Amino acid sequence: MTDYKMLRALICLLVALPCCIGRSWAGSLEATPLTADQPGILHRLASDPLLAQPESLTNGRALPGDVVPTPCPSQVDLSKPLSLAGAVDLALCNNPQLRDTWAQIKIQVAQVGQARSAYLPTLSAQVSELNNRTVYPGFSSANNTTQGHMTYASLNWLLFDFGGRSANLEASDDALKAAIDDHDAELQKLLGEVVSDYFNAMAAQAKVEASKQAEELARRIEDSANRKLQHGTGDRADLTQSQTAAAKAELTLAHDTGERDKMLAELVYALGLTPGTNIVLPELAKPDRSVGIKALLEWVRFAKHNHPAIRAAREQWTSAQAKVRSARSDGLPSLSFVTTFDQNGYPNQGLQPIQNNITTIGMTLNVPIFDGFMQHYKIDEAKARANVAQAQMQDTEHQILKQVVTAYGDAVMAFDSIDASGKLLESAQVGMESAQNRYDHGVGTMIELLTAQSALADASQQWVQSLAQWEAGRLELLAASGILGHAALEGLQDKK
């Protein structure tokens, strides 16, 4: 073999192996083997030669029920009523926590690549140009100078290690799955918060409209009392009472207006928009009563097996268990294949005067004997971390299922209150008309009229609150269960 043939052979072997081994790994974590007709294959192989990143992460994560990830709108027309789906899109594109969880996924992808690289050989090479002069003080005629180069190449390939590499790869794969599920769980958490803020703002907006109607009604009652007083059929007490009621209605309107502005400001912040941005929301509509709620047990069972936060905690536990196996394997023997090529000398030694090529091929068995009990405590640490991960998994499951139970109760309560609040509003409207008619004809009293007016204002507020709580409650139940996506949001918007 000539001087550089050995070095070229080792380099070719190292370059070819990642593609072969990478394709064998490509089936894990939803990855798809790359083919020559896919766009960007060269860029993908250059940036991710071991195919550590799953194909599903190429363009981002999609919400449940969506085929493709949500595109960030280049420009949003905020002069038009902002739909719930549009609000969600803005929040998904502007939320810094989602960018953080996405960066965590990238970190785990890199760790999977590192775990896969342990299956490949390591190759190192060194080329030196040297001038070696030897001087004999007592025999100067023997002095000599040698000029030339030294070449060194080494390949080391770990062949057997009692499962340490496979345990590390399994731990990295599970950690990557957990990072993906953490990102999906953060998506659901953000959706639940946006839904809550959106409908709180819509309810506050509807309350302002109801307060305006109540204030207008109170002013009409005041005008009616004033006309009767001027015509000699009323008294000063009725006018005073009506003025007090009108002032109270005006104060309520001012309070509700301030509450609406606060809710809109919180929604603007949740959407990641500039504080002070004006947004317009649609009006609350009567809900579709055909939409029901499944039994609580079904929601709990589904969330327990499918919620991304629970899946992430479960995968973190599995990853911690794999790290225990990895820690144990570190204290066991390992077998490696070693080959070296040396030309004109060895590394860190002088240049040999006679050209020579030395090729070494062999097997190295490494047997750990004593490390001061370090390995013992590494295993104990890994076991303790696995116990912590198990406890965190159980706590996460408990917290998520508690959220599901709470959201279910809120949704059922809101669903049941719609009919009752609707009947209350109809009854209050009839009572108001009757009291107004009785007062205008001199039969009813101002106290009766103001009581009816107060009942109508309260019923209007209850109706608005029931509508908002139902729409928000059922969507928050979906988010708590980990399955809220654009399908539910767009279905709600189509219904309206």
42-56, 159-173, 283-297, 378-392: least confident range: 283-297
pLDDT in tens, 406-456: 999 988 888 888 888 989 999 999 999 998 888 877 778 888 888 898 999
Return d(Cα 477, Cα 472) in angstroms, integer: 9
Q: Does the pLDDT at position 53 exceed 70? A: yes
Q: Is the pTM of this model over 0.75?
A: yes
| Mean pLDDT of the region 254-270 | 94
Return d(Cα 285, Cα 129) in angstroms, integer: 83
Q: Does the pLDDT at position 27 exceed 70? A: no
**Which structural domains are found in the chain, ordered by start?**
5-19+78-118+126-495 (1.20.1600.10)
Q: Which contiguous run of DSSP H or E holds residue 129?
A: strand 122-134
- Decide: 363 and 336 in contact? Cβ < 8 Å: yes
Q: Does the pLDDT at position 4 exceed 70? A: no
pLDDT in tens, 271-282: 988 888 899 998
Return d(Cα 95, Cα 270) in angstroms, integer: 8
| Mean pLDDT of the region 457-485 | 89
81-85, 221-225, 354-358, 451-455: least confident range: 354-358
Return d(Cα 317, Cα 451) in angstroms, integer: 62
**What are the phi and psi torsion angles at 174 (to 5°)?**
-65, -35
Mean pLDDT of the chain: 84
pLDDT in tens, 191-205: 999 999 999 999 999
User: On the CB side of 274, how many CA atoms lie within 13 Å of its CA?
Assistant: 4
The pLDDT value recorded for residue 328 is 94
- Decide: 303 and 400 in contact? Cβ < 8 Å: yes
Q: Does the pLDDT at position 20 exceed 70? A: no
The pLDDT value recorded for residue 177 is 94
The pLDDT value recorded for residue 36 is 45
- Decide: 152 and 125 in contact? Cβ < 8 Å: yes
Confidence of residue 292 (pLDDT cuts 50, 70, 90): low
pLDDT in tens, 119-152: 999 999 888 877 777 777 877 777 777 777 778 8
Alpha helices in 231-355 (DSSP H): 236-270, 296-306, 308-329
Residue 101's CB is within 10 A of a number of other CB atoms, namely 19
Percent of the chain with pLDDT over 70: 87
- Euclidean distance between the first and final Cα of the chain, in Å? 80
State the angle between helix axes of 164-230 and 84-94 in degrees (0 to 180), rounded to the nearest 10: 130
| Mean pLDDT of the region 366-375 | 92
pLDDT in tens, 315-365: 999 999 999 999 999 999 999 999 988 887 777 676 677 778 888 899 999
The pLDDT value recorded for residue 231 is 75
The pLDDT value recorded for residue 254 is 95
What amino acid occupies position 14? L
The pLDDT value recorded for residue 291 is 57
Task: Give 91-96's long-range contacts (Cβ < 8 A, gap of 24+).
Answer: 91/190, 91/191, 91/194, 91/270, 91/271, 91/272, 92/187, 92/190, 93/272, 94/271, 94/272, 94/273, 95/190, 95/272
